[in-house]
Every structure is written in structure tokens, then in C-alpha cells.
């Protein structure tokens, strides 16, 4: 079950072996003969040869996340950005098109709208609250995937995963869901029809702001062979990898991740350090306990802010009356997450003054870790966006993003109170 898998998933020591996931801090692995090594390169035998491609510590922690999400295969990457990039570039190239929710993390938006556009991949951004007709209208014959975030950062919009999955599947493409804020404790997108899940493990999965990292998990459900013409990279021989056809050799459960490792990790090298993966695995052990407290603290703080005269609006999907309350009840019944967005009456200047007055919560370009932190996205993570793009991303100029940590909620409320008094 879930709590047990957080502790034991991906690693069961044999007699006399380390109790914790071992840190295999080695770039290389020794073999007796060149023939043994050759079989690994041909993917004919399983084993490790160079950490840029695979490392046992990384794989054990990937297997833990795979189990938590209910997938068939998973990989770790050096950052969430790398995970977002790989998840799409693994099935799309120049001349292709992707449909994405507009309310995604600012860094992901920039990756898609600027950098990947420069690589010849075009993105159409749609409001995730749009009708099914509007969503369907965004697809083109060369569309290769649909992308969204379970809980959008920082707009905190909850994705209607079933609606998105229906649209993706009716156009013969996979739905990729960034499940960073929800974590598999809160929502398992595969159970609602998503095909691939990505994570910035830097956030709640690690949980202690110790290591930047990413993960991709495959549900194994998307039938690449049914749409073989659309996904030749998975369904025809890969000349850069000994003529392997990934779906034939590894089946639907393994093709997507094996290709991402064999091609993209080989060529881009976005490999996490084994030490970072160890920290991630350690963090996951307490994920359920932490998420429960994050959600409880955030709900109390959202209620406090909601009744404060100097707060003009509050967005928290766990708050009754919130625009996303019903969707959160469906997809995130245990609680959405620990992040609360709100506006300070008086706009941008008031928001900045309020933030400067906080003593316990720190101003940090981070979110979703044990210690409470606060950010003004319009002047930080989303500052590359113009006003129209900010509006589409659900980020108003007065938006303050509070990532509620694991401190005593009363201490946090005292801190907010004193900072608001001076605004
Ligand atoms: N996805 C989401 C939802 C995020 O919040 C972030 C970072 O904040 C990322 C992806 C990128 O992850 P990383 O910072 O680990 O590269």
C-alpha cells in the first residue's frame, strides 16, 4: 500500500545488505570481458556501464516513484525542467505541435514557448477551464501530445484530468501531466486517464529543499503502435541505437522510458547525482506524513487569510467556495497541497511591503518544502511574461504565492498577522 511503498518501494535489501538505499557514487562499472560489455550496449543484457545512462541508486529511487504513481517504468533526471523537456522531446521533433495548458509553471512555459519553439516544435496554449469543444479545436494533424499540471504553479488551477484525457485520446495522442504539486499521495493521474506523469522532485517528493531533480513515469497504457505513423521514433528501428524498435523490444510498458534513457539521456546527459537521488528516496519515506501536515496547515492559513480585511482574494482549492473546490474534491480528496495564492489589498506595492515584513516565512524562489516560503511570481519566476501572458497563466500582478511548511500553524499565522499590520 502507499505508505509502505514510500518506505520499501524500489528497494528490498537481501540478507546482510544495507538497510537504506545505497549510494553508488561511481561513474563506471567493471566487467570481465569486452563481450560482456558489448551485450549491455546492444541492450541484450541488463546491467550498468556508465552513470550518465543509468545508475543503481537512481534506478532504485525511480522504481519507488514508479510504484507510487502506479506506472510501468520510470526514470530520474537532474531537474524538473529536464523532465518536462524529455517528456515531450521523446515523442516530438521539428515540425510537430503540442497542446498545453496555459496555466503552467513559468519555467515550463518559457521552455515550451521560447526554447522548444526555437527547436521547431510549436505549442498552442489553452485555458485549462475551456470547454471540450475549445480544447478539441486546439489539436492539429501534427499534434503529438497534450500537457497540463494537476495543480498549476502558481495559479493553483486544478486540472480536469478526465476532460484532458478524453481530448488527448480522441486525437490519438498521450496526455502528459506534471504532478509536482499534488504528488502521488494526493492524486495518481494514471487512474484518471493520463498516460505519462512528470515531476519536479525538487518539491514535495524531496520535501526538504535539498536536491534539484526530476522524474518521468510511464503508465504503459498509450498504444504507440496504434498510431505508428505519428511516433516513428518508438515504432521503427532506431539507427542510433543498433536498429532497435523500442515498442517491439520493450513492449508498451517499457518502450517510452527505454527510448528516453537510451537516446535522450545518452545525448543530453541530464543525469542526477546518486547522492541527490538518495536524498530524494529518503524524503519520499515521509511523504504521506508531510503532505497531511502541509494540507492541514495550508487550509488553516487559507481560512485565516480569507477572513482578513487586507487580503483581497485567496486561491486554495481546499477552501470551500474556491473556484476549483469541486475539482479538488474529485481529484485530490485528501487535500490539494500546501501552496496558497492570494492578493494583498493595494496591489503589487502592498504585496512587496507585506513580504518584506515577514519574519518566519522566507522570501525564496522555491515552493513545496518543509519550511514556509513566499514569492511574488510576477517579479520572479514569471517576470519574462508580458501582461497578457501573465493573465493567461493566471498570475495577477498582486499574486503572492505562499508555500506553507510544517511549522506550527499558529506561529505562521502570528507572522502573517504582524506583516499585514504594517501594510
Ligand atoms: N514543474 C513544476 C510544476 C514546477 O513548479 C517546477 C519548478 O518550480 C518545475 C516543473 C521545474 O522543476 P525544477 O526546478 O526541478 O527544474
Give the tens place of pLDDT for each residue, 291-301.
Answer: 999 999 999 99
CA distance 108 to 129: 19
pLDDT of residue 41: 81
DSSP state of 126: E
Pocket lining: 180 vs ligand 1, CB cutoff 6 Å: yes
Confidence of residue 167 (pLDDT cuts 50, 70, 90): very high
pLDDT of residue 18: 97
Give the tens place of pLDDT for each residue, 57-76.
Answer: 999 999 999 999 999 999 99
How far does residue 105's CA lie from ligand 1's centre (Å)? 7
Tell whether the torsion through CA atoms of 113, 116, 119 and 121 is positive or negative.
negative
Within 4-149, strands assigned E span: 73-77, 97-101, 122-126, 143-149
How far does residue 386's CA lie from ligand 1's centre (Å)? 20
Give the tens place of pLDDT for each residue, 15-34.
Answer: 999 999 999 999 999 999 99
CB count, 10 Å around CB of 292?
Answer: 13
DSSP state of 392: H
pLDDT of residue 1: 95
Could you tell me which residues are beta bridge partners of residue 76? 215
320 torsion bin: left (phi>0), alpha (psi -120 to 50), beta (else)? beta
CA distance 120 to 110: 14
Pocket lining: 105 vs ligand 1, CB cutoff 6 Å: yes
287 torsion bin: left (phi>0), alpha (psi -120 to 50), beta (else)? alpha
Pocket lining: 202 vs ligand 1, CB cutoff 6 Å: yes
CA distance 176 to 173: 10
pLDDT of residue 150: 98
Best of 85, 202, 268, 365 for a ligand 1 pocket test (most atoms within 8 Å of beta carbon): 202
Cell of 370: 518543509
pLDDT of residue 385: 76
pLDDT of residue 382: 78
Look at ligand 1, atom 11, and give the residue with the nearest C-alpha: 80
Which of 3-7, 165-169, 348-352, 399-403 is predicted least confidently? 348-352
Q: Is the pLDDT of residue 208 over 80?
A: yes
pLDDT of residue 198: 99
pLDDT of residue 172: 98
CA Rg value for the chain: 22
% of the chain residues with pLDDT over 90: 87
pLDDT of residue 115: 98
Phi, psi dihedrals of residue 158, rounded to the nearest 5° = -95, 130
Give the tens place of pLDDT for each residue, 71-107.
Answer: 999 999 999 999 999 999 999 999 999 999 999 998 9
pLDDT of residue 378: 82
Could you tell me which residues are beta bridge partners of residue 175? 146
Pocket lining: 153 vs ligand 1, CB cutoff 6 Å: yes
How far does residue 205's CA lie from ligand 1's centre (Å)? 12
Q: What is the mean pLDDT of residues 368-393?
A: 84
Does residue 390 or residue 242 have the better pLDDT?
A: 242
Which of 29-43, 174-188, 291-305 is predicted least confidently? 29-43
pLDDT of residue 240: 86
Pocket lining: 212 vs ligand 1, CB cutoff 6 Å: yes
CB contact at 8 A, 83 and 214 = yes
220 torsion bin: left (phi>0), alpha (psi -120 to 50), beta (else)? left
CB contact at 8 A, 55 and 24 = yes
pLDDT of residue 27: 98
Phi, psi dihedrals of residue 54, rounded to the nearest 5° = -150, 150
pLDDT of residue 52: 97
pLDDT of residue 380: 82
Global pTM? 0.97
How far does residue 69's CA lie from ligand 1's centre (Å)? 18
CA distance 406 to 332: 20
Confidence of residue 379 (pLDDT cuts 50, 70, 90): confident
Q: Is the pLDDT of residue 390 over 80?
A: no
How far does residue 301's CA lie from ligand 1's centre (Å)? 24
Atom of ligand 1 nearest to the CA of 213: 15
How far does residue 180's CA lie from ligand 1's centre (Å)? 7
Confidence of residue 381 (pLDDT cuts 50, 70, 90): confident
Pocket lining: 179 vs ligand 1, CB cutoff 6 Å: no
Average pLDDT, the chain: 95
Nearest partner of 156 among 125, 188, 128, judged by Cα: 128
Nearest partner of 325 among 314, 337, 316, judged by Cα: 316
Q: What is the mean pLDDT of residues 127-142?
A: 97
Look at ligand 1, atom 15, and give the residue with the nearest C-alpha: 80
How far does residue 35's CA lie from ligand 1's centre (Å)? 41
Domains and CATH numbers, the chain: 2-281 (3.40.640.10), 288-421 (3.90.1150.10)
How far does residue 345's CA lie from ligand 1's centre (Å)? 29
Cross-sheet strand order for the sheet of 97-101: 73-77, 214-218, 196-200, 175-178, 143-149, 97-101, 122-126
Look at ligand 1, atom 13, and give the residue with the nearest C-alpha: 80
Q: Is the pLDDT of residue 392 over 80?
A: no
Furthest-apart CA atoms within the chain: distance in Å: 74
Q: What is the mean pLDDT of residues 152-172?
A: 96
Distance from the first to the final alpha carbon of the chain: 47
Amino acid at each position: 500500500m502507499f505508505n509502505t511503498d514510500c518506505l520499501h518501494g524500489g528497494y528490498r535489501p537481501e540478507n546482510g545488505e544495507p538497510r537504506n538505499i545505497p549510494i553508488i557514487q561511481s561513474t563506471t562499472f567493471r566487467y570481465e570481458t569486452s563481450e560482456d560489455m558489448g551485450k549491455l550496449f546492444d541492450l541484450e543484457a541488463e546491467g550498468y556501464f556508465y552513470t550518465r545512462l543509468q545508475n543503481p541508486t537512481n534506478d532504485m529511487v525511480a522504481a519507488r516513484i514508479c510504484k507510487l504513481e502506479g506506472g510501468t517504468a520510470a526514470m530520474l533526471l537532474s531537474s524538473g525542467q529536464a523532465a518536462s523537456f524529455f517528456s515531450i522531446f521523446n515523442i516530438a521533433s521539428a515540425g510537430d505541435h503540442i497542446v498545453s495548458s496555459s496555466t503552467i509553471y513559468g519555467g515550463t512555459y518559457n521552455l515550451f514557448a521560447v526554447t522548444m519553439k526555437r527547436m521547431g516544435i510549436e505549442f498552442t496554449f489553452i485555458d485549462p477551464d475551456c470547454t471540450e469543444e475549445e480544447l478539441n479545436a486546439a489539436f492539429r494533424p501534427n499534434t503529438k501530445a497534450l500537457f497540463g499540471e494537476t495543480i498549476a504553479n502558481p495559479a493553483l488551477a486544478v486540472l480536469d484530468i478526465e476532460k484532458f484525457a478524453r481530448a488527448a485520446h480522441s486525437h490519438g495522442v498521450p496526455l502528459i501531466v506534471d504532478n509536482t504539486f499534488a504528488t502521488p499521495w494526493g492524486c495518481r493521474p494514471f487512474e484518471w486517464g493520463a498516460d505519462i506523469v512528470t515531476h519536479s522532485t525538487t518539491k514535495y517528493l524531496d520535501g526538504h529543499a535539498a536536491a534539484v531533480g526530476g522524474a518521468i513515469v510511464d503508465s504503459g497504457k498509450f498504444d504507440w503502435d496504434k498510431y505508428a505513423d505519428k511516433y516513428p521514433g518508438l515504432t521503427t528501428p532506431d539507427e542510433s541505437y543498433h536498429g532497435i524498435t523500442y515498442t517491439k523490444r520493450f513492449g508498451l510498458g517499457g518502450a517510452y522510458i527505454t527510448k528516453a534513457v537510451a537516446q535522450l539521456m545518452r545525448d543530453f546527459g541530464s543525469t542526477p547525482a546518486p547522492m541527490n537521488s538518495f536524498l530524494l528516496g529518503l524524503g519520499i519515506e515521509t511523504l504521506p506524513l508531510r503532505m497531511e501536515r502541509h494540507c492541514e496547515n495550508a487550509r488553516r492559513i487559507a481560512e485565516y487569510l480569507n477572513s482578513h480585511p487586507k487580503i483581497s482574494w485567496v486561491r486554495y482549492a481546499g477552501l470551500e467556495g474556491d473556484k476549483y473546490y469541486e475539482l479538488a474534491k474529485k481529484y485530490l480528496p485528501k487535500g490539494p497541497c500546501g501552496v496558497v495564492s492570494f492578493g494583498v489589498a493595494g496591489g503589487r506595492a502592498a504585496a512587496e511591503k507585506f513580504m518584506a515584513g515577514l519574519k518566519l516565512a522566507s522570501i525564496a524562489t522555491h515552493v513545496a518544502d518543509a519550511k514556509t516560503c513566499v514569492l511574488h511570481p510576477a517579479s520572479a519566476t514569471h517576470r519574462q511574461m508580458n501582461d497578457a501572458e501573465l493573465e493567461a497563466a493566471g498570475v495577477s500582478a498582486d499574486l503572492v504565492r505562499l508555500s506553507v511548511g510544517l511549522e506550527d500553524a499558529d506561529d505562521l499565522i502570528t507572522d502573517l498577522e504582524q506583516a499585514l499590520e504594517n501594510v
